[in-house]
């Protein structure tokens, strides 16, 4: 099922600015993840966070360059030099913004099978992960 994406200027409940709660391992979460991937594909995006679909959960997904992953209850650590790049966001449509981010990110999370994972990313994947994680802490590209 394709879900509606909350846009920053049409967010009366303030879901894009809230703190979120951890995800529980249940059938509802599994179905939500499948629907999020369907929504992401339909929107031609590379990442989607639960707050963007009106869910107050610590969850995001990434689909970029043949790589797909689900990040449940993630924790990130950024490091390295800072880099600027134009970014776009499904919740801030048609407004690319220059954002400064750290070059590298280390992320700890559970995947869709509830396996604990830890990885480091740089380049575009590092940037996508930082962008999607920002949604989990109530931050948008318009804040940069």
Catalytic residue list: 132
Give kind and range of the element (H or E) at residue 87: strand 67-89
CB 10: neighbour CB atoms within 10 A? 10
Q: Using an 8 Å Cβ cutoff, are 102 and 84 in contact?
A: no
Q: Please list, in sequence order, all residues whose beta carbon lies within 8 angstroms of the beta carbon of residue 2, skipping any fewer than 6 positions away.
A: 35, 38, 39, 42
Task: Determine the Cα angle at 79 with ends 75 and 83, to 5°.
Answer: 115
Distance CA 123, CA 142 (A): 21
Phi and psi at 41, nearest 5°, equal -60, -45
């Amino acid at each position: 099922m394709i879900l509606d994406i909350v846009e920053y200027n049409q967010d009366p409940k303030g879901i894009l600015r809230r703190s979120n709660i951890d995800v529980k391992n249940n059938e509802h979460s599994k179905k939500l993840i499948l629907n999020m991937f369907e929504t992401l594909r339909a929107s031609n995006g590379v990442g989607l966070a639960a707050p963007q679909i009106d869910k107050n959960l610590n969850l995001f997904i990434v689909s970029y360059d043949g790589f797909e992953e689900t990040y449940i209850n993630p924790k990130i650590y950024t490091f390295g030099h800072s880099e600027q790049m134009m970014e776009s966001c499904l919740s801030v449509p048609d407004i690319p913004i220059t954002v400064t981010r750290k070059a590298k990110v280390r992320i700890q999370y559970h995947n869709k099978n509830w396996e604990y994972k830890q990885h480091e990313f740089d380049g575009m994947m590092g940037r996508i992960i930082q962008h999607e994680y920002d949604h989990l802490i109530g931050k948008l590209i318009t804040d940069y």
